[in-house]
A and B are shown apart, each in its own frame.
Chain A
Amino acid sequence: MSHHAAAAGRPLGVGILGAGPVTQAIHLPALARLGDVLEVRHIMDVDAAVASSVAARVGAKSSTSMDELLGDPDVDIVAICSPHHFHADQVIAACRAGKKAVLCEKPFAMNGGEAARISAVSAETGVPIVVGAMHTFDPGWLAAEQNWGNLPDTAHTIRSSIVLPPNARFEDFATEIVTRPAAGRPDFSDIEVIKAALQGGIMGLAIHDLPLVRRFTPDFEQVEVLQARHVRPFGYTVSLRTPSRVIELRAVMNGTWKPEWTFEAIADDSALRIDFTPSYVQAGSAVATFTRSDGSETTSFGPYGHNGYEGEWRELAGLANGTLQAQSAQTLIDDLTFALSIAEATVATGAADHANATRTAGVSA
């Protein structure tokens, strides 16, 4: 195992496993803004034509083999943007290949066992891992963190609400996508479809903000799902409770053009609201707003010039250069455990709700 030192003044080399829409529309545009510190050198995808096409855009090598990318001495940082079930093994392989830092798209593992294996390998190899929870790297969130005082201790209510157009709307503003996955027509009468949608909703969408929720939930290990419902065509409404917190999660992806992505933490005498920009486009950071005194006193932070995805890459560059310290593995494991526990309970509760057509009360006006 050897670390490949970057030549002085030369940007760090990036290799990306998986060249789907997220790589094309999110990571490559973000990296294009950081050309003085990061340079894409290798793109791997199981579809050779996609790998070649996407790599050609940035003048990188392409391959269809993870081993070939990990063996490339020009690659200092590995980004794992493959399907979820490959993540754990690929993170471990990247660490063992002696790379300088690893970015793994969320979720970085599918169960606690995988997370523990990753943590052990990261500790053994010393390779820092960043999980792609982009909002935790958003300058708006980071400004809130610097200014929220004791709100994480006093907040009693936490809300995450995500309203988004179909991904294609923003992908097409960000790049020219090749090989977009075909959209299906799900059968919502099939309970397995509902279960898969709820699982995907939590582990694919809510997971962006669950690390934020957890920061305001000291007793996160005691989370209880009060109700979970699927929202058509894609989304969820999930009501959670811990002994000290109320947590409400909402998401709707419909045909609207108007995105609205908010995170709120509310205490008796102060409240924080963060309005995030949509993914894919380079629309700057979130705006964090604190309110007090019936809303008559407000303090806002942002917008700043870059979003959380660019923030992730700046973090990775700092980690690879040794100018930043990696987040503790325990934080990543706790975030994952929190998300998995919510996903599991949400699927069970939502499936039961779907199966139970009993209506408890009704009124007409």
Chain B
Amino acid sequence: MSAQFTVQATPAAREAGAVTQTVASLPETFGPVPAGHTGPADVLVVAGSGGWTAEAAGAVQSGARGIMVANPVPEDTSELAAVADAAGAVVVLDLRWAANPALVAEGSGPDARAAVRSGLGTASLLDSVATAPPGTDPRQLLSDHLAALLAVTGQLDGVAVLRRDASGYTVSGRLANGAPFTAQGVLTAARPAGVDIRLYTADGGVAVQVPDPDAAWPAEVRVTGPHGNLLLPTLYESAHRFAWRRLKEHLSAGTRPDDLAGFARLTDLYATLTAT
């Protein structure tokens, strides 16, 4: 039986999104364009480097029903959103850490977002560290980092860059209740790439560790309170695969995700920071 949706990707997009191996894990749903097939594929994968919104909009206008964007950089998504709305196309963003299923789960499953947001009212401090290898563009790291933070925290106020240099960056701001938050980027090859988010509350807190999506190692979400230390169920699914599975659900159900609206908030925040 052939797959339900055909997929096409440029070499750059294929590498950025680990497309081959990820699509291979959903073989009943996604597959390559058969030899001799003419016309656009059902799904086009776009690398998220500069200009990705225009490329994605062009693909929608050419007839693609689904767009997967691999690790997008902050860009104005309003035109793409309008084009996708008009065509009824599904645009899903495969974000390095923010797309991890432990951060925002399907349906009503337990996730980091619910755990963090339930603690924000009594928050004392949110402290986060993102790690990436030397040579990583600190601006891209900051974008990935902020995307993960916004996914779980919601409102961030008074955000400012304290420093940005060859070893990383430090960003600070305040949570909705006025408690401070800090986000530090550290460039090192001594540790695995990933993001660590710690929320400290009046009687405990939440610790979130999200790995890179190049393997299905699970994120860890631990909630500490008077009850003890609770490990949320571990999900051995990479951010890449979870993004593709969401694309499948929306294409199959004829529904639309809110990825672009969420990403617009990141773009706005990022623009504020890079302008200072």
Report the minimum CB–CB distance from A300 to chain B (whole Å): 14
Contact of A256 among B133, B153, B189, B204 (CB under 8 A): B204
Contact of A295 among B155, B173, B192, B202 (CB under 8 A): B192
B14 within 8 A of A: no
A325 within 8 A of B: no
Q: With contacts A252-B125, A256-B204, A361-B269 known, is A237 near B157, CB below 8 A?
A: no
B77 within 8 A of A: no
Residues of chain A lying within 8 A (CB to CB) of residue B158 = 358-362
Report the minimum CB–CB distance from A235 to chain B (whole Å): 7
Cα of A363 to Cα of B175 in the assembled complex, Å: 10
- Nearest A-chain residue to B127, judged by Cβ: A250
B150 & A239 in contact (Cβ 8 Å cutoff):
no
Residues of chain A lying within 8 A (CB to CB) of residue B167 = 156-157, 246
Report the minimum CB–CB distance from B225 to chain A (whole Å): 8
Residues of chain A lying within 8 A (CB to CB) of residue B262 = 365
Q: Interface-forming stretch among B30-38, B177-185, B249-257?
A: B177-185
Q: With contacts A258-B229, A268-B134, A362-B158 known, is A246 near B168, CB below 8 A?
A: yes
Report the minimum CB–CB distance from B115 to chain A (whole Å): 15
Cα of A241 to Cα of B205 in the assembled complex, Å: 28
Contact of B200 among A163, A239, A365 (CB under 8 A): A163
Q: Interface-forming stretch among A12-20, A170-178, A224-232, A334-342?
A: A224-232
B162 & A294 in contact (Cβ 8 Å cutoff):
no
A295 & B191 in contact (Cβ 8 Å cutoff):
yes
B272 & A361 in contact (Cβ 8 Å cutoff):
yes
Chain A stretch 235-275: residues in CB contact (< 8 A) with chain B: 235, 237, 239, 241, 246, 248, 250, 252, 254-258, 266-271
10 pairs of A and B residues whose beta carbons are closest in the complex? A271-B190, A359-B158, A295-B192, A361-B272, A156-B167, A255-B203, A362-B157, A363-B269, A229-B180, A252-B200
Residues of A within 8 A of B (CB): 156-157, 159, 161, 163, 226-227, 229, 231-233, 235, 237, 239, 241, 246, 248, 250, 252, 254-258, 266-271, 291-296, 358-365
List 11 contacting pairs A-B, 8 Å CB cutoff, sorted by A: A226-B163, A252-B124, A254-B124, A256-B224, A257-B226, A266-B186, A292-B190, A361-B158, A361-B173, A361-B272, A362-B159
Give 19 A-B pairs besides A237-B180, A258-B224, A293-B189 with Cβ atoms closer than 8 angstroms. Answer: A156-B167, A157-B186, A159-B184, A226-B162, A229-B180, A231-B125, A237-B125, A239-B163, A241-B163, A248-B170, A252-B124, A254-B201, A268-B134, A292-B190, A294-B133, A294-B190, A294-B191, A365-B154, A365-B155
